[in-house]
Amino acid sequence: MNYFPKRGAIGAALTAVALALILSFKTPSATGNSTGGTSGNTTGNTTGNQSQQTAGTGTGTGSTGQRSTFSGQLTGTAVQTPFGTVQVQVTLQNGQITDVQPLQMPNDQRRSQQISQYAAPQLRSEALTAQSAQVDSISGATYTSEGYAQSLQSALDQAGA
């Protein structure tokens, strides 16, 4: 019966090692790691189904390490979500986001329409406050929020913002 203390010591050691591994785990950065150029939390379902980007009109300059001074409107990529397409148009003035308007939002079903009507103004406000596509997901509209952020980021990428 001397093997019980050994089992206890081995169990305690394995538990300590497992705990150390869990605590040292680093999560991926949430800035621009996905194919769509938005947060690393976007799903693979939306990145593979994007349509072509539509270039906007405007003037400006941008270079690596400097904030763009682009002024004009740009249309983001149309992003397919499980509930429909999301696409936005962003207006920039000297590189600052002054407006974001949804061109397409999920509306195939009544519930999708309700969610889109609820989420669009909140996402617009988040984008204007953040001055980027790094917007928080709206509870109950996660896919729409992710599609919105992806479309917005693709428009901002066109401006070099």
Residues 91-149: tens digit of each pLDDT:
999 989 999 999 999 998 999 999 999 999 999 999 999 999 999 999 999 999 999 99
C-alpha–C-alpha distance, residues 43 and 47, integer Å: 7
Strand-pair partners of 59? 71
> Domain locations in the chain?
44-159
Q: Which CATH class is domain 44-159?
A: alpha beta
Q: State how far Cα 20 lies from the chain centre.
A: 31
CB atoms within 10 A of CB 118: 15
pTM to 2 decimal places: 0.60
Q: What is the pLDDT of residue 31?
A: 39
